[in-house]
Amino acid sequence: MPKSMYNHLADEWKKHDTSFMSPQKLRLIQWRQEDNFTRVERPVRIDRARSLGYKAKQGYIVVRAHVRRGGLRKPKIKGGRKPSQKGISKITMGKSTQRIAEERTAKRFPNMEVLNSYWVGADGKYHYYEVILVDPVHPVIMSDPKINWISSSSNTKRVLRGKTSAGQRGRGLHKKGKGTEKIRPSLRANKNRGK
């Protein structure tokens, strides 16, 4: 069976060209000079956007956001204590940079709901994500049976409750079976289960 255009685009992004003066490098140089939240006319990765629910119709917008990258190493402390209590290395984030980008974008566009997001690049300073936003009260969205679920009151501020794909991954909900006994329905609910 022949590959579709979207399959070919996905293959290109798996091994995209990052050499000097390549289109991706030039894009990153331009993105770094722009504002943090930049509304884009069309997605850079149309295959990924379509697979996550994007449609080129009214009520949908795409915003490119960046989040700082790097480790969470803390500066060396001056006071004396046991080396194991210094708290400099092996500190992991509670949220991924993708979740942070989604949440910040949702706060910037308060009338929209975050549908999903995907990675589009990284340079020495930032991770770049494109966030798909949907207007839940737009007539086109409310009349579309495939997306009008986002208009219900139970889906307000869904990104802040970890309901997007990146949020579910951070909550451990992309795994099932052994090792995931305590993550459903949530870590906090499981902690209070025995009480």
CATH number, domain at 58?
Answer: 3.40.1120.10
pLDDT, residue 59, reads 95
Domain total of the chain: 1
Question: Does 62 fall in a domain?
Answer: yes
Question: Does 108 fall in a domain?
Answer: yes
Question: Does 76 fall in a domain?
Answer: no
pLDDT, averaged across the chain: 91
Q: What's the predicted TM-score (pTM) here?
A: 0.89
pLDDT above 90: residue 33: yes
pLDDT above 90: residue 54: yes
Q: Which structural domain, as residue segments, surrounds residue 106? A: 5-70+85-191
pLDDT, residue 187, reads 85
Question: Does 122 fall in a domain?
Answer: yes
Looking at residue 133, what DSSP letter applies?
E
Question: Does 164 fall in a domain?
Answer: yes
Question: Does 18 fall in a domain?
Answer: yes
State percent of the chain over pLDDT 70. 99
Strand order in the sheet with 126-134: 38-40, 60-68, 126-134, 113-122
- pLDDT tens-digit profile of 127-153? 999 999 999 999 999 999 999 999 999
pLDDT, residue 162, reads 93
Q: Distance (Å, rounded) from C-alpha 184 to C-alpha 186?
A: 5
Here the tokens at position 70 are 């790097």
What average pLDDT score do residues 39-55 get? 94
pLDDT above 80: residue 194: no
Q: How confident is the model at residue 164 (pLDDT cuts 50, 70, 90)?
A: very high
pLDDT, residue 72, reads 81
Q: What are the residues whose beta carbons fall under 8 Å from the beta carbon of 9, sequence distance 6 or more? A: 45, 46, 47
3-state secondary structure at position 53: coil
Strand locations in the chain, DSSP E? 38-40, 60-68, 113-122, 126-134
> Among 8, 115, 121, 6, which residue's Cα sits nearest to residue 62?
115
Question: Does 79 fall in a domain?
Answer: no
Question: Does 56 fall in a domain?
Answer: yes
Contact 32, 123 (CB under 8 A): yes
How remote is the C-alpha of 153 from its chain's centroid?
22
pLDDT above 90: residue 29: yes
Q: Is the dihedral of CA 31, 72, 169, 59 positive or negative?
A: negative
